[in-house]
Amino acid sequence: QAVYRLPGGFFQARGWKEQLARKPVDRLDLLREILSGIYSWRAVLHEGVFHSTWDERIAFKGEWVSLENAAGEEALQGQVVGLDDSGSLVLRTLSGKNVCATVGDLKLRPFQ
């Protein structure tokens, strides 16, 4: 599957119609395929293959980002390392410390 990147390493969001080159698509068939794909992962949710696949495909790995929480605290700035065993996002801070984040708004802009 192709990964579309914009200048600066950004991933480009694409609609399913554009992705399928505007070919007619039966929405029920599309939904069936999506649900089938999701369901196929159900059997391996607690196995290493699911986590490693998820971690390999995470967007912005290696990019510097800012993470803000709902409390309005100062944004955590760091480099996206990947996911920990619980699925939390791991960021490496400027000091080199790895920090796990389970909730927040990730700013996917170049780090400044």
CATH code: domain 7-107 is: 2.30.30.100
Sequence spans of domains, the chain: 7-107
Per-residue pLDDT tens listing for the chain (112 residues): 444 444 455 555 666 666 667 677 788 988 898 898 888 888 887 777 888 888 888 878 888 888 887 676 778 889 999 999 888 999 999 999 999 988 888 787 655 5
What's this model's pTM, rounded to 2 decimal places?
0.63
Starting at the edge strand found earlier in the chain, the sheet holding 64-68 runs 98-101, 89-93, 76-83, 64-68, 105-107
